[in-house]
């Protein structure tokens, strides 16, 4: 009964989905989907090597500091980084005094209240503060950017397919659109951006836009894009190094424990004390031969 | 329990004797997972995934309870509280990555456990109740995982909540009130987040309870085995401890290594980048997908694109729920008296097609709903339903199965079970038998 009902229900589902398939086929053959300009021109992030790639990957402190400098002098004019605090900069090699100075001299002040009057005011940042947003609210941010909202950069390196390589590809990916491609007003052509038209104007416009401290590579546009992408990876995943290090310890422990476990398993199953099947009774070879013979005579399979 | 030769618990230490007379907990453990539970000696490695699923639940509870101490189920601060865990809580990144990837791990081992049951006929008499309780656990797992994914309140969390609760809206008449009742409003918002957090904390303990029933039920007939032949003599079994504790132990180590590689080196590989963007009800992501373990069901949901007597959306919802609910009827749909697929030559072919079919559905479920993927998912969906509802019932009537071994011991002596506890062949030469 269940089987008969099941077959009917099954036929119902198969018929319904076949009906959908039929109409899908009709539409597909009659009107094959055309590739959109977005699908044709969109490019995936380039393959870019970073110091933090792979299981032994580590951040390059000098690079992160250069990247922070690019963030400070270029990105932070429009973008917030609200999950990261000034104190976190200790992790990329700045001393306590340097962090205090960076917070104190940050161009944007932190919203506060006047302790005497209670009126809204601003104060200088301290190391415990997170990076203040350049705009007081979303309306102000949109008003200053042709109605586009500059996204928060704290998690950008994890929030886009391709991660830091996407950011670097995008920063260096601006170029003139192909002939016949109309870029809407106030937007900029960039094949790495999913819909090709990006509201952000090219942020890195000239080599030497940021001045690196002596002993660092020349601040070409490619170098600055590379450094700031690495910095944003740190901002998104500050514990990457401890994660890689802890992973090694955990793996060594687990591999050792698993080998011991395997040896224990072999000992239990195949060691001298293991319970073996003994060919006795019905399983005695002679009895089994007799059973097989009897089965053959009786014409029974097996 | 299961067999008359099961060894009895004999406490040696006076303290254990004292305890045994008053609260025989050690006796319960001994009979359930110790030397007192005789298990077929020929289980292969596919029988290890039940224990691994239990281990995965323990890991999820351990990491989840600590995460809940730091998480904040307020729609304005939930996203930031997750970042607080990642950045400021000691080893918080480990807890969160272990919990997120632990969910994937839980589903991987559970899917292997379910497919083991499908191949070896574990759902057949006398183990129907074990099978159905397992399906209840699976449904609870899906609900728990879905609600857990909503908690970080990222873009994908929000839109997944909207899409999945929207499914209930397809039910005629009562659909919309049910949807509003589930969400606590017209769209996912604060009431949704708070109730999902509450249920996400509750359901794992319900799962633990149903697991106890699942284990209780399997101890009545005893574990199945790859031949599907019933246990006949004490020779056919070995005690669970130390035999299967040792085998499960080292195998669990192997799987922990795989989990550790995910957690420490590829923590975001199975996730979706868009969920690192805070939830925004005004901006729909270009491509809404659930977590990978729901992809086959998502492909089935989206396969129904044209009205056929009923609206297409209702067909999709019915099909998605039916794809799991039909498994409850499997013991009566497949009436073949032979349990193990190893002795069912035609069943084996269809089983391989089913595995490929489910993998294809999974692949399509993660892709955007574009042609030709939709048509492919329609073919795969048709096979999924045909397999369980049409092919298996007919197959169990017409198939000629291969001869079964006389007993588990005989199959071991014949060397048919390479992974079984060994045979003592001194004085016997089974090759001549």
User: Residue ranges per domain, chain A?
Assistant: 2-33, 41-84+130-238, 243-271+278-298
pLDDT of residue B198: 97
Mean pLDDT of chain A: 91
> Does the structure show a pLDDT above 80 at B210?
yes
> Does the structure show a pLDDT above 90 at B169?
no
> Does the structure show a pLDDT above 60 at B426?
no
Q: Which residues contact residue A82 at a Cβ distance below 8 angstroms, ignoring those fewer than 6 apart?
A: A130, A131, A133, A152, A154
- Locate the domains of chain B by residue range: 20-281, 289-408
User: Does the beta-carbon distance from B235 to A18 stay under 8 Å?
Assistant: no
Instruction: Write the secondary structure of chain B as one string of H (helix), E (strand) and C (coil).
Output: CCCCCCCCCCCCCHHHHHHHHHCCHHHHHHHHHCCCCEEECCCCHHHHHHHHHHHHHHHHHHHHHHHHHHCCCCCCCHHHHHHHHHHCCCCHHHHHHHHHHHHHHHHHHHHHHHHHHHHCCCCCCCCHHHHHHHHHHHHHHHHHHHHHHHCCCEHHHHHHHHHHHHHHCCCCCCHHHHHHHHHCCCCCCHHHHHHHHHHHHHHHHHHHHHHHHHHHHHHCCCCCCCCCCCCCCHHHEEEHHHHHHHHHHHHHHHHHHHHHHHHHHCCCCCCCHHHHCECCCCCCCCCCCCCHHHHHHHHHHHHCCCCECECHHHHHHHHHHHHHHHHHHHHHHCCCCCCCHHHCHHHHHHHHHHHHHHHHHHHHHCCCCCCCHHHHHHHHHHHHHHHHHHHHHHHHHHCCCCCCCCCHHHHHHCCCCCCCCCECCCCCCHHHC
User: Does the beta-carbon distance from A194 to B422 stay under 8 Å?
Assistant: no
Q: Give, rounded to a whole angstrom, the gap between the first and last alpha carbons of chain A.
A: 32
What's the average model confidence in pLDDT over B356-374? 93
CA angle B2, B8, B10 (to 5 degrees): 155
Q: Residues of B with CB below 8 A from A18's CB?
A: 378, 382
Q: Residues of B with CB below 8 A from A2's CB?
A: 329, 332-333
> Does the structure show a pLDDT above 70 at B427?
no
What's the average model confidence in pLDDT over B315-339? 95
Q: Residues of B with CB below 8 A from A301's CB?
A: 403
Q: Within 13 A of A253's CA, how many CA atoms are on the CB side? A: 8
User: Does the beta-carbon distance from A243 to B93 stay under 8 Å?
Assistant: yes
- A299 or B360, higher pLDDT: B360
Instruction: Locate the chain B residue with the closest alpha carbon to A158.
Output: B273
User: Does the beta-carbon distance from A288 to B433 stay under 8 Å?
Assistant: yes
Q: Which of B25-34, B137-146, B260-269 has the lowest mean pLDDT?
A: B25-34
> Does the structure show a pLDDT above 80 at A246?
yes
Alpha-carbon distance of A8 to A143, in angstroms, equals 62
| Closest CB to B257 among A55, A159, A254 | A254
User: Does the beta-carbon distance from A17 to B319 stay under 8 Å?
Assistant: yes
Q: Residues of B with CB below 8 A from A285's CB?
A: 428-430, 432-433
> Does the structure show a pLDDT above 80 at B416?
no
| Closest CB to A261 among B253, B305, B385 | B253
- A273 or A213, higher pLDDT: A213
Alpha-carbon distance of A66 to A211, in angstroms, equals 9
Alpha-carbon distance of A25 to A284, in angstroms, equals 64
CA angle B387, B320, B316 (to 5 degrees): 105
pLDDT of residue B429: 45
Alpha-carbon distance of B262 to B270, in angstroms, equals 9
pLDDT of residue B431: 42
pLDDT of residue B425: 59
When pLDDT is cut at 50, 70 and 90, the band that residue A129 belongs to is very high
Q: Residues of A with CB below 8 A from B76's CB?
A: none
Nearest to B133 by CA among B202, B211, B56, B204: B211
User: Does the beta-carbon distance from B410 to A283 stay under 8 Å?
Assistant: yes
- Chosen for mutation from B273, B284, B402 (greatest number of chain A CBs closer than 10 Å) is B273
pLDDT of residue B376: 95
Instruction: Locate the chain B residue with the closest alpha carbon to A282.
Output: B410
Alpha-carbon distance of B245 to B239, in angstroms, equals 10
> Does the structure show a pLDDT above 80 at A62?
yes
The alpha carbon dihedral of A17, A18, A21, A23 has a sign of negative
B223 is known as an active-site residue: yes
| Closest CB to B264 among A14, A243, A257 | A243
Residues A71/A228, Cβ–Cβ less than 8 Å: yes
B248 is known as an active-site residue: yes
Min distance A171 CA to chain B CA atoms (Å): 19
| Closest CB to B428 among A242, A251, A279 | A279
pLDDT of residue B368: 87
B247 is known as an active-site residue: yes
Torsion from C-alpha of B412, B418, B419, B420, nearest 10 degrees: 10
A 10 A CB-CB count for B3 gives 14
- Chosen for mutation from A11, A277, A298 (greatest number of chain B CBs closer than 10 Å) is A277
What's the average model confidence in pLDDT over A176-180? 87
| Closest CB to B412 among A254, A277, A291 | A277
pTM, full prediction: 0.93
Catalytic residue among B113, B247, B272, B387: B247
User: Does the beta-carbon distance from B385 to A10 stay under 8 Å?
Assistant: yes
Min distance A184 CA to chain B CA atoms (Å): 20
Alpha-carbon distance of B339 to B64, in angstroms, equals 38
CATH of domain B20-281: 1.20.810.10
User: Does the beta-carbon distance from A277 to B265 stay under 8 Å?
Assistant: no
- Domain A41-84+130-238 in this protein, CATH class: mainly alpha
pLDDT of residue A36: 80
Min distance A220 CA to chain B CA atoms (Å): 30
User: Does the beta-carbon distance from A283 to B235 stay under 8 Å?
Assistant: yes
Q: Which residues contact residue B41 at a Cβ distance below 8 angstroms, ignoring those fewer than 6 apart?
A: A275, A277, B236, B237, B238, B243, B408, B409, B412, B417, B420, B421
User: Does the beta-carbon distance from B260 to A194 stay under 8 Å?
Assistant: no
Min distance A83 CA to chain B CA atoms (Å): 7
> Does the structure show a pLDDT above 90 at B379?
yes
Instruction: Locate the chain B residue with the closest alpha carbon to A302.
Output: B403
Express as a percent the part of chain A with pLDDT over 90.
74
User: Does the beta-carbon distance from A265 to B250 stay under 8 Å?
Assistant: yes
pLDDT of residue B418: 67
| Helix, strand, coil content of chain A in percent (nearest 5) | 50, 5, 45
Helix (H, G, I), strand (E, B) or coil at A282: helix
B389-401 burial by CB neighbour count: b if 16+ within 10 A, else e?
Answer: bbbbbebbeeeeb
- Chosen for mutation from A3, A157, A256 (greatest number of chain B CBs closer than 10 Å) is A3
Q: Which residues contact residue A184 at a Cβ distance below 8 angstroms, ignoring those fewer than 6 apart?
A: A197
User: Does the beta-carbon distance from A16 to B304 stay under 8 Å?
Assistant: yes
**Tokens encoding B42:** 């020929």
Alpha-carbon distance of A251 to A247, in angstroms, equals 6
B411 is known as an active-site residue: no
Helix (H, G, I), strand (E, B) or coil at A122: strand
Instruction: Locate the chain A residue with the closest alpha carbon to B388.
Output: A10
A 10 A CB-CB count for A61 gives 14
> Does the structure show a pLDDT above 80 at A254?
yes
Alpha-carbon distance of B35 to B39, in angstroms, equals 10
Catalytic residue among B70, B84, B180, B219: B219
When pLDDT is cut at 50, 70 and 90, the band that residue B409 belongs to is confident
Q: Which of A62-66, A103-107, A296-300, B8-12 has the lowest mean pLDDT?
A: A296-300
What are the tens digits of pLDDT across the range B234-277?
Answer: 889 999 999 999 999 999 999 999 999 999 999 999 999 999 99
| Closest CB to A7 among B381, B382, B393 | B393
B291 is known as an active-site residue: yes
Question: Which H or E run includes A51?
Answer: none
pLDDT of residue B432: 39
Residues B368/B253, Cβ–Cβ less than 8 Å: no
> Does the structure show a pLDDT above 70 at B433?
no
Residue showing tokens 């102000």: A140
Nearest to B40 by CA among B402, B330, B405, B335: B405
- B32 or B140, higher pLDDT: B140
């Amino acid at each position: 009964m269940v089987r008969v009902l099941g077959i009917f229900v099954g036929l119902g589902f198969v018929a319904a989905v076949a009906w959908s398939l039929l109409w899908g086929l009709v539409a597909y053959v009659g009107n094959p989907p055309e590739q959109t300009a977005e699908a044709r021109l969109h490019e995936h992030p380039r393959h870019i090597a970073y110091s933090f790639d792979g299981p032994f990957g580590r951040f390059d402190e000098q690079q992160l500091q250069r990247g922070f400098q690019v963030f400070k002098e270029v990105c932070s004019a429009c973008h917030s980084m609200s999950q990261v605090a000034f104190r976190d900069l200790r992790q990329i090699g700045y001393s306590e005094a340097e962090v205090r100075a960076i917070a104190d001299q940050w161009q944007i002040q932190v919203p506060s209240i006047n302790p005497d009057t209670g009126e809204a005011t601003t104060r200088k940042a301290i190391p415990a503060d997170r990076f203040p947003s350049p705009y007081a609210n979303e309306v102000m941010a949109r008003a200053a950017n042709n109605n586009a909202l500059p996204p928060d950069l704290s998690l950008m390196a994890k929030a886009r397919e391709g991660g830091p390589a996407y950011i670097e590809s995008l920063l260096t990916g601006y170029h003139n659109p192909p002939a016949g491609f109309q870029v809407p007003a106030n937007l900029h052509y960039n094949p790495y951006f999913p819909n090709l038209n990006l509201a952000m104007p090219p942020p890195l416009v000239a080599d030497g836009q940021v001045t690196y401290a002596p002993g660092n590579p020349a601040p070409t546009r490619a170098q600055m894009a590379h450094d700031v992408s690495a910095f944003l990876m740190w901002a998104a995943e500050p514990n990457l190094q401890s994660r890689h290090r802890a992973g090694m310890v955990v793996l060594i422990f687990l591999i050792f424990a698993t080998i011991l476990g395997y040896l224990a398993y072999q000992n239990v199953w195949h060691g001298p004390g293991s319970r073996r099947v003994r060919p006795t009774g019905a399983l005695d070879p002679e009895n089994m031969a007799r059973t097989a013979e009897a089965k053959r005579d009786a014409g029974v399979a097996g | 329990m299961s067999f008359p030769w099961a060894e009895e618990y004999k406490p040696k230490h006076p303290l254990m004797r004292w305890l045994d007379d008053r609260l025989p907990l050690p006796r319960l453990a001994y009979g359930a997972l110790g030397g007192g539970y005789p298990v077929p000696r020929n289980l292969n490695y596919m029988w290890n995934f039940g224990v691994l699923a239990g281990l995965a639940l323990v890991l999820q509870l351990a990491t989840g309870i600590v995460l809940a101490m730091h998480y904040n189920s307020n729609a304005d601060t939930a996203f930031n509280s997750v970042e607080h865990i990642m950045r400021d809580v000691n080893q918080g990144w480990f807890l969160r990555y272990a919990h997120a990837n632990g969910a994937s791990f839980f589903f991987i081992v559970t899917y292997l456990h379910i497919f083991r049951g499908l191949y070896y006929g574990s759902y057949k008499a006398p183990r129907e109740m074990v099978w159905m309780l397992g399906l209840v656990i699976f449904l609870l797992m899906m609900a728990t995982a879905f609600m857990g994914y909503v908690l970080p309140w990222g873009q994908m969390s929000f839109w997944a909540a909207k899409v999945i609760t929207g499914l209930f809206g397809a039910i005629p008449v009562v659909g919309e009130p049910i949807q509003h009742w589930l969400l606590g409003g017209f769209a996912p918002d604060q009431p949704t987040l708070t109730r999902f957090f509450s249920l996400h904390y509750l359901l794992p303990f319900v799962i633990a309870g149903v697991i106890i029933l699942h284990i209780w039920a399997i101890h009545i007939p005893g574990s199945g085995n790859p031949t599907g032949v019933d246990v006949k003599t004490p020779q056919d079994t070995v005690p669970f401890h130390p035999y299967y504790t040792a085998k499960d132990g080292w195998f669990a180590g192997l799987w922990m290594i795989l989990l550790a590689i995910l957690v420490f080196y590829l923590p975001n590989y199975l996730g979706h980048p868009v969920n690192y963007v805070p939830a925004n009800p005004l901006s729909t992501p270009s491509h809404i997908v659930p977590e990978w373990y729901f992809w086959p069901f998502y492909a089935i949901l989206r396969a129904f694109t044209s009205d056929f007597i009923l609206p297409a959306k209702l067909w999709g919802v019915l099909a998605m729920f039916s794809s799991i609910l039909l498994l409850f009827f499997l013991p009566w749909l497949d009436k073949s008296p032979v349990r193990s697929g190893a002795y069912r030559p035609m069943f084996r072919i269809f089983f391989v097609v089913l595995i490929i079919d489910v993998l294809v559905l999974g692949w399509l479920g993660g892709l955007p709903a574009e042609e030709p993927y939709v048509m492919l998912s329609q073919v795969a969906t048709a096979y999924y339903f045909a397999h369980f509802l049409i092919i298996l019932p007919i197959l169990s009537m017409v198939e000629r199965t291969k001869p079964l071994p006389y007993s588990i011991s005989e199959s071991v002596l014949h060397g048919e079970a390479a992974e079984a506890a060994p045979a003592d062949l001194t004085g016997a030469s089974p090759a001549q038998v």
